[in-house]
Chain A
Amino acid sequence: MMKLAKKDILGIADMSVDEINLILETAESFLEISMRDIKKVPTLRGKSIINLFYEASTRTRTSFEIAGKRLSADTINISASTSSTVKGETLIDTARNLEAMNPDIIVLRHSAAGAPHMLASLVKQSIINAGDGAHEHPSQALLDMMTIREKKGKIAGLKVALVGDILHSRVARSNIYGLSKMGAEVVVAGPATMLPRDIEKMGVAAFTKIEDAIADADVVMMLRIQLERQKQNIFPSLREYAQHYCLTRKNIKLARPDAIVMHPGPMNRGVEISPDIADDPGISVILDQVNNGVAVRMALLYLLSGGNE
């Protein structure tokens, strides 16, 4: 018998290698359900899952919703723009009210780092962090690790390059924690204004040239440039960014010949990744990431749900 020793999934930083392996192996078993004609198992019948999203999201919210529905749970979506938040209700009050309706799991996305942690300490339900500010996005890192393992057969010993706005990326942060724990060599590249100070303390090598990072990489993970950041003057223009940091046919040659390219989405085509790379099924595993995302979220919901001790 196995059990996740946690009530909540808040981040990869506090996850053990055993827990990551348990989640990935469980997710691999869930993959098959999405291939069936009848894409549903009765496992979480009668459980309710609330997707509480304070930030825009298509992929993650849909993925959690489909994951819940394929397990027969009732899923309820709340987005901040249509909730009492616009009437001035605080996150804590919203959560307390939702708690009173007795859901089993709350999936939270919030622009403030630490919001899910605060919620987890206040309500009895399991909380899954679906992205908190620039802090963590654990389900994304798990689906990325699952995709790497699926394509490469392992994670340990691989060189993984993360390129883009590392400073503001919760995807990068969760992946750095996870991939390092699983024994990969992680390197990052981006403009100096987009690299966190003291990034080396996370055990990664940092470069300001994309070429230095992707040389001999087994996996190249491109991060989305958040267009709204341009207003903060951390990069001059999209065109200039693309000139230096776009993954192209030319610079991908520096990576290993069997390298795979990943992107957490949504993509800015021609900015961080050239369309012919993104659409090349021989290199790009971007849609496999989305497919694995549903399985990873099914695994999280399955492992977190339970009756009374």
Chain B
Amino acid sequence: MTKQKTAKVVLDSEGIDRGLTRIAYEILEKNKGMEHLVLVGIRTGGVYLAGRLQKNISAIEGREVPLGILDVTLYRDDIATSNKKPPLGKTQIPFDLTDKIVVLVDDVLFTGRTIRAAMDALIDFGRPRMIQLAVLIDRGHRELPIRADYVGKNLPSSLWEAVSVNLMEKNGKDEVLIEEGS
């Protein structure tokens, strides 16, 4: 007997847009404008979302906020013990982070290990005044004391479920799906 996998759309295109618009306003509100502000997207999903947040913030403030790209692979805590190596993407942070307010952007916040790795990486680029975290989906199940400052949608999930974020830039479609794992 094969179990039918059911994928449920938990956030559609408008939902994603609305969430990102709200987060853009929240970032500006919390930081009282965009002085010292930089966005850093975590490869790969976070990069596209950070790009959209950059557009939203620029539309509100009329100025462009700097955008960096971070690949956390080299900082992962399972990399030295695993024989499998994820493909390594380029990190591009062409500015000093010292004294900046860095908003890290990722698609799904899960165990928190990616964010731990990202924070270690950021600190190698300078001493930020503050690091904040923006995610589209917070699905719970943290394994580290990490929380997000800006959340598109809280999505209580079971460990057996898979959450996937499809984005126009990545798979030609904007939607967040949750499906039972096999």
Contact with B along A36-48 (1 / 0, CB 8 A): 1110111111110
Tell yes or no: B89 within 8 A of A by CB: yes
Tell yes or no: B85 within 8 A of A by CB: yes
Where chain B touches its partner, the secondary structure class is loop
User: Which 4 pairs between the two chains have the least Cβ-Cβ distance?
Assistant: A306-B83, A307-B81, A41-B74, A1-B84
Residues of chain B within 8 A (CB-CB) of A309 are: 83
CB within 8 Å of A: which B64-116 residues: 71, 74-75, 79-92
Once the chains bind, are B124 and A2 in contact (CB under 8 Å)?
no
Once the chains bind, are B85 and A42 in contact (CB under 8 Å)?
no
- Shortest C-beta distance, B46 to chain A (Å), equals 17
**A residues lining the B interface (CB < 8 Å):** 1-4, 25-26, 28-30, 32-33, 36-38, 40-47, 71, 302-303, 305-309
With A28-B90, A41-B75, A43-B74 already in contact, the answer to whether A302 and B124 are too (CB < 8 A) is no
With A29-B91, A41-B75, A42-B74 already in contact, the answer to whether A2 and B80 are too (CB < 8 A) is no
Once the chains bind, are A306 and B82 in contact (CB under 8 Å)?
yes
- Shortest C-beta distance, B115 to chain A (Å), equals 16
Residues of chain B within 8 A (CB-CB) of A307 are: 80-83
20 residue pairs bridging A and B, Cβ less than 8 Å apart: A1-B85, A1-B86, A3-B83, A26-B87, A29-B71, A29-B89, A36-B124, A36-B125, A37-B126, A41-B74, A42-B74, A42-B75, A43-B74, A43-B79, A45-B80, A302-B88, A306-B84, A307-B80, A307-B83, A309-B83
Q: Which residue of A lies closest to B96 (CB)?
A: A37
Tell me the complex Cα distance, A45–B78, Å: 11
Contact of A38 among B82, B87, B91, B124 (CB under 8 A): B124
Residues of chain B within 8 A (CB-CB) of A305 are: 80
Counting chain A CB atoms within 10 Å of each CB, the highest count among B80, B84, B120, B126 belongs to B80
Q: Which residue of A lies closest to B71 (CB)?
A: A29
- Shortest C-beta distance, A49 to chain B (Å), equals 13
With A25-B87, A28-B90, A32-B91 already in contact, the answer to whether A43 and B80 are too (CB < 8 A) is yes
Once the chains bind, are B80 and A46 in contact (CB under 8 Å)?
yes
Contact of B84 among A2, A37, A41, A302 (CB under 8 A): A2
Once the chains bind, are B86 and A2 in contact (CB under 8 Å)?
yes
Tell me the complex Cα distance, A308–B74, Å: 18
Once the chains bind, are B80 and A44 in contact (CB under 8 Å)?
yes
Tell me the complex Cα distance, A36–B94, Å: 10
Residues of chain A within 8 A (CB-CB) of B82 are: 306-307
Tell me the complex Cα distance, A28–B125, Å: 19
